[in-house]
């Protein structure tokens, strides 16, 4: 089997003591399936007083620094305890504790410095950011992560038997170049590595909802809102699958609101992993409107992998 391009997996264990700790069985499954090494990291959140805000009380600052050091030592010991069974299974595992603030920046810096090919985090407490169902840690990692991001909802899963890739090839003009290719190539590689069933879905607006026929030509001679729209989407998905060299994939076309349909499909098809693209959006749009990726991460009953196209090649970063 062709060696996976994912060689370094960074696992953020319980950032800020929230979210799901990644079970050792899941970490072992990922590393063994992808033939990769693992780094386990944890974050120590220092008090802002240690940054100089308590300059008038040096003794307090010293006490807080000692407390932070003790927390770091404790978390390092916990990581080593989690790492040992993985090492006993023959895996290469390192551990590291970071005290950089904010927490998401600590994780991002570690991913960049270690040149991680995959970042794994647990889903956090919901509904803490207005107009979203995610924490600021989740949202910032989704926007800024330099490599594919695996958000773990079920930390005890030991295999991915079914993978769902969400693409939208007829709307490439609205996304960066290589967006759908990145998603499908990542899903295809992972389905081979995990020996998993692969489904490719395209969720689009129901043309029956349009009162007039659109003037937008989505395929030569095919305009959105005509009876040929399903055939156009199916043909576009088939062309994308051929372009990416993916074999054995099942195509599922649905109409409706993408995030809710994708979440429902994941449940209906007993999907273990959803793969979709994440686009870096402006602050106002991300804060107020959210995105399909955010909604899927919040609502999907399974783990979600977010990938981004490379700025130069259109291939998924790290995959």
pLDDT at 127: 45
The answer to whether 197 touches 161, Cβ cutoff 8 Å, is: yes
Q: Read off the pLDDT of each residue in 189-215 and give the average, rounded to a whole number.
A: 81
Structure confidence by residue, pLDDT tens digits, 273-293:
999 987 654 444 444 334 788
Distances in Å between the Cα of 52 and the Cα atoms of 49, 62, 65 are: 6, 11, 11
The better pLDDT of the pair 239, 226 is held by 239
Percentage of the chain beyond pLDDT 90 is 36
pLDDT at 253: 95
Q: Read off the pLDDT of each residue in 84-89 and give the average, rounded to a whole number.
A: 90
- Residue range(s) in the chain whose domain bears CATH number 3.40.50.620: 7-158, 160-319
pLDDT at 245: 93
Pair of tokens at residue 307: 């990938």
Q: What is the 3-state secondary structure (H, E, C) of 230-261?
A: HHHHHHHHHHHHHHHCCCCCEEEEEECCHHHH
The better pLDDT of the pair 108, 316 is held by 108
CA–chain centroid gap for 84, Å, is: 26
CATH match for 7-158 among 3.40.50.620, 3.20.20.190, 1.10.3720.10, 3.40.190.10:
3.40.50.620
What single DSSP character describes residue 35?
T
DSSP of 108-129, one letter per residue?
HHHHHHHT-SEEEEE---SS-S
Q: Read off the pLDDT of each residue in 97-107 and give the average, rounded to a whole number.
A: 83
Query: What is the torsion angle, in degrees rounded to the nearest 10, for the CA atoms of residue 16, residue 22, residue 28 and residue 29?
Result: -140
Structure confidence by residue, pLDDT tens digits, 125-148:
544 444 445 677 888 888 888 899
Architecture of domain 160-319: 3-Layer(aba) Sandwich (3.40)
> The whole model's pTM is what?
0.81
**Is residue 275 helix, strand or coil?**
strand
Cα separation, 122 vs 209, in Å, equals 38
User: 52 pLDDT exceeds 60?
Assistant: no
Structure confidence by residue, pLDDT tens digits, 172-186:
555 666 889 999 999
């Amino acid at each position: 089997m062709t060696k996976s391009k994912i060689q370094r997996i960074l696992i953020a264990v319980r950032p800020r003591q929230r979210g799901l700790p990644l079970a050792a069985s899941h970490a072992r499954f990922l590393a063994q399936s992808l033939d990769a090494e693992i780094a386990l990291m944890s974050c120590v959140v220092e008090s802002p007083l240690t940054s100089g805000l308590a300059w008038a009380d040096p003794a307090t600052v010293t006490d807080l620094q000692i407390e932070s050091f003790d927390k770091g030592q404790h978390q390092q010991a916990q990581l080593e305890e989690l790492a040992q069974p993985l090492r006993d299974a023959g895996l290469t595992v390192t551990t590291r504790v970071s005290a950089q603030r904010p927490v998401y920046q600590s994780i991002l810096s570690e991913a960049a410095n270690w040149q991680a090919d995959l970042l794994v985090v647990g889903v956090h407490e919901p509904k803490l950011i207005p107009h979203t169902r995610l924490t600021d840690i989740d949202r910032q990692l989704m926007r800024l992560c330099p490599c594919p991001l695996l958000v773990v909802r079920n930390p005890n899963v030991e295999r991915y038997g079914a993978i769902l890739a969400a693409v939208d090839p007829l709307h490439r003009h609205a996304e960066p170049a290589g967006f759908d290719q990145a998603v499908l190539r990542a899903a295809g590689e992972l389905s081979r590595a995990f020996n998993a069933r692969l489904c490719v879905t395209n969720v689009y607006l129901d043309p029956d909802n349009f009162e007039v026929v659109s003037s937008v030509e989505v395929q030569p001679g095919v305009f959105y809102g005509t009876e040929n729209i399903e055939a156009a989407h199916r043909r576009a998905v088939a062309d994308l699958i051929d372009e990416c060299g993916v074999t054995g994939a099942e195509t599922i076309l649905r109409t409706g609101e993408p995030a809710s349909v994708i979440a429902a499909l994941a449940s209906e098809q007993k999907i273990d992993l959803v793969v979709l693209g994440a686009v870096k959006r402006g602050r106002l749009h991300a804060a107020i409107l959210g995105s399909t990726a955010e909604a899927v991460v919040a609502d999907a009953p399974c783990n979600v992998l977010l990938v981004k196209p490379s700025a130069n090649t259109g291939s998924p970063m790290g995959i």
